[in-house]
Copies of this chain bind each other. A is one copy, B any other.
Amino acid sequence: MAQIALSRRLRRTPFSDGVEAAGVKGYTVYNRMLLPTVFESAEVDYRHLKEHVQVWDVSCERQVELRGPDAARLMQMLTPRDLRGMLPGQCYYVPIVDETGGMLNDPVAVKLSEDRWWISIADSDLLLWVKGIANGYRLDVLVDEPDVSPLGVQGPKSDELMARVFGDRVRDIRFFKFDKFEFEGRELAIARSGYSKQGGFEIYVEGSDIGMPLWNALFAAGEDLQVRAGCPNLIERIEGGLLSYGNDMTDDNTPHECGLGKFCNTHTAIGCIGRDALLRVAKEGPVQQIRPIAIDGEPVPPCDRPWPIVAGGKRVGQVTSTTWSPDFSTNVAIGMVKLSHWEPGTRVEVETPDGLRGATVRDKFWI
């Protein structure tokens, strides 16, 4: 396997010193920034995440900040999700689409106030799309990338660890809500959210200078909780059906194909740039959609490109994320499957690098 060649272009984060000291073994690049992928091994990291608590450097979830009188209008132009009922203190998962309804990103929108929003992005330079739209429509809004780096705290002991550092009030934060907490005299937004199904928080660390002090405070407070450095875990995210933009979907796909139709309020999301195209999609329904898939047999090799799904000699979809699940003793997978073969229980075959494997389209993800 090849090494990653480091350079300034693959940006370090406020927590990189801590990540390195913790012995990171693998990196990916996400929004032109380093994202750890493994510390001990995918399986050891996974087991620990499900039992204890981990601190995740997810700085690569960069923020696009909208600020000004047209901020809310611009935010609604970007997404088919109806934002009218959204209050400050709430986080919404929002598909972002272009004029054809193709997905440009699947971020979390954070409403700080009526005229100030953060968009906590997946892996594409959404900043450039938002700046282009703001400029082209002559909106009265500033758009930029602030010095804000999310730090994840994930796992069943997250509440306990966070309460020790930020006080018991942190336990009251509800899912996809955020509140402000003090750390070293700085006010930080903390949300109950994160890219795992094990529960936890994301701290929006504003100001790189407090990155390592906060990292160290969490590790000092959590020694007896067996806190460790962690990262989004491939096994756990596939078991839980957490999609990855760029892996499981691209700008070729509509939200409906990604199973995100419930976030498309095309009749009421007035102003959304992709609304016309998505109205049409909503009427006709998608012809392919994301499905959980169990692949038979021994553990599959790493999936670094789409693997065709075939049935009766024809291509009926593709697998885009897969790995062996120790807890479910099967290869868990995420794939895009055509309408003709997407019913739960349908048997198909997957072209893996090791040859054809039998596979079953499932009703639900594993957790």
Contact = CB atoms under 8 A, between A and B. Distances in A.
Interface in A90-142: 98-99, 104, 123-126, 128-137
Interface residues of chain A: helix, strand, loop or mixed (majority): loop
Interface in A14-40: 24-30, 32, 37-38
B7 A99 contact: no
A8 interface: yes
Nearest to A27: B2
Contacts of A7: 28, 244, 247, 302-304, 321
B132 A135 contact: yes
A303 B29 CA distance: 17
A8 B132 contact: no
A6 interface: yes
Interface in A214-251: 244-247
A71 interface: no
Contacts of A304: 6-8, 10, 12
Tally of this chain's copies: 2
Find the residue from A98, A130, A131 having the highest chain B CB count within 10 A: A131
A43 B338 CA distance: 50
Given A104-B128, A126-B128, A136-B137, A3 B3 contact: yes
A289 interface: no
Contacts of A3: 1-4, 25-27
Interface in A55-107: 98-99, 104
Given A98-B131, A126-B128, A27 B8 contact: no
A26 B5 contact: yes
Given A1-B3, A2-B26, A128-B104, A8 B123 contact: no
A314 interface: no
Interface string A133-154: 1111100000000000000000
A169 interface: no
Given A132-B131, A135-B132, A306-B8, A2 B25 contact: yes
Contacts of A158: none
A126 to B, nearest CB: 7
Find the residue from A125, A132, A245 having the highest chain B CB count within 10 A: A132
Contact of A125 (B2, B9, B125, B247): B125
B5 A27 contact: yes
Interface of A: 1-10, 12, 24-30, 32, 37-38, 98-99, 104, 123-126, 128-137, 244-247, 273, 302-306, 320-321
